[in-house]
Amino acid sequence: MKKLLAGALALGLSAGVANAASHADDITLQLKWVTQAQFAGYYVALDKGFYEKEGLNVTIKPGGPDIAPEQIIAGDGADVITTWMAAGLAARERGIPLVNIAQPFKTGGLQVNCLKSSGVSSPDDFAGKTMGVWFFGNEYPFYAWMASLGLETDGADDNGVTVIKQAFSADPLIQGQADCISTMTYNEYRQILQAGIGEDELVTFNYLNMGFGMLEDGLYVKEDRLEDPEFADQMVRFVRASMKGWKYAEENPEEAAEIVLDNDETGAQTLDHQIYMMGEVAKLTAGSNGELDPADYKQTVATLLSAISAENAAITKQPEGAWTHAITDEALK
């Protein structure tokens, strides 16, 4: 596949330069979630003209609780999406040929927070507890972890946990509906603290620290489209501009937060929270130039395959052709 892409890029680069000079290529990016600093690099690249300088006219479509980016791109509703690798690999195995072309997030922010008052101090205490879990592809790390602990997830007996479908908020913990919930370091964790629950009242389990880290926000396209030299060249320019946006956001977090807020058409976000989020997200993108680290990919796959016997396993076999360096190799020149 890499040789094929290299050939396509060689043919497309000179044409891409000419095209950029004559007209802007339209690109639609579908986000995994709503407009927030989790996606600051793309909004910064749009606002600062980085995409325009690359000859691209980029439309950014926010996600939401009922939007699965994998389904959007499968139906040709986007050219490129942001999603977690677990969801991307699961979609690939189920017939949507997604390929990771870049990995802006070097590390992940997924964790589980439990109330100490629930009696949880370690994973040994999970049995019999109620756990809030996100779905739409976010559940795969959780099920892999539970499988490794030998815990059932149907709540049928004391050797398992009861799973509730958690909305993307900290409400189940705050309102006493769950003993533990899913949180991101840059979002829901702060919601818990702002609700008056102190850090000393919480037990935090970070998926990476527990050995179940998975690559989070990466950029994915459909494999067959990379055979088109013009599209491959567009993605080179898109990734190059996007990473420029991410590095600018890391260095200018308050300005980046303001840019995100300017693009929030719902009016639901606040500057204070977006500044906080940008500071935490910058910790996850730090050290990444956009190129996928094969070792991180292997860890993600190993984690997913460890739950191969679970009913909710993301994948059941070793993926093939699920990522490429062809785009970042050109973008980083």
Q: What residue ranges define each of the domains in the chain, with the CATH number in brackets?
A: 2-107+215-331 (3.40.190.10), 110-206 (3.40.190.10)
Q: Cβ-count burial of 155 within 10 angstroms (0-12 exposed, 13-18 middle, 19+ buried)?
A: middle
What is the rounded average pLDDT of the residues 54-77? Answer: 95
Of the pLDDT bands very low, low, confident and very high (cuts 50, 70, 90), residue 159 is confident
pLDDT at 1: 54
**Cβ–Cβ < 8 Å for 172, 178:** yes
Higher pLDDT among residues 312 and 76, named by residue? 76
Instruction: Quote the mean pLDDT of the chain.
Output: 91
Q: Would the pLDDT of 126 be above 80?
A: yes
**Per 3-state DSSP, what percentage of the chain is helix, strand, and coil (rounded to 5)?**
45, 15, 40
Amino acid, res. 212:
F
Q: How far apart, in whole angstroms, are the C-alpha atoms of residue 83 and residue 73?
A: 11
Predicted TM-score of the model (pTM): 0.89
Of the pLDDT bands very low, low, confident and very high (cuts 50, 70, 90), residue 21 is very low
pLDDT at 307: 78
pLDDT at 308: 74
**Cβ–Cβ < 8 Å for 261, 274:** yes
Higher pLDDT among residues 321 and 14, named by residue? 321
Q: What angle do CA 27, 31, 36 make, to 5 degrees?
A: 120
**Cβ–Cβ < 8 Å for 308, 316:** yes
What is the rounded average pLDDT of the residues 113-134? Answer: 95
pLDDT at 80: 98
Residue in the block written with tokens 């600018």: 248
Rounded-to-10 torsion of CA 253, 30, 242, 233: 180
> Among 2-16, 40-54, 274-288, which stretch is predicted with the lowest mean pLDDT?
2-16
- The closest of 90, 48, 25 to 316, measured between CA atoms, is 90
Q: Return the percentage of the chain with pLDDT > 70, whole number.
A: 92
pLDDT at 17: 47
Higher pLDDT among residues 11 and 213, named by residue? 213
The H-assigned helical ranges of 113-223 are: 140-149, 171-174, 188-194
Tokens of 209: 């620290």
Q: Would the pLDDT of 285 be above 90?
A: yes
**Cβ–Cβ < 8 Å for 184, 109:** yes
pLDDT at 156: 67
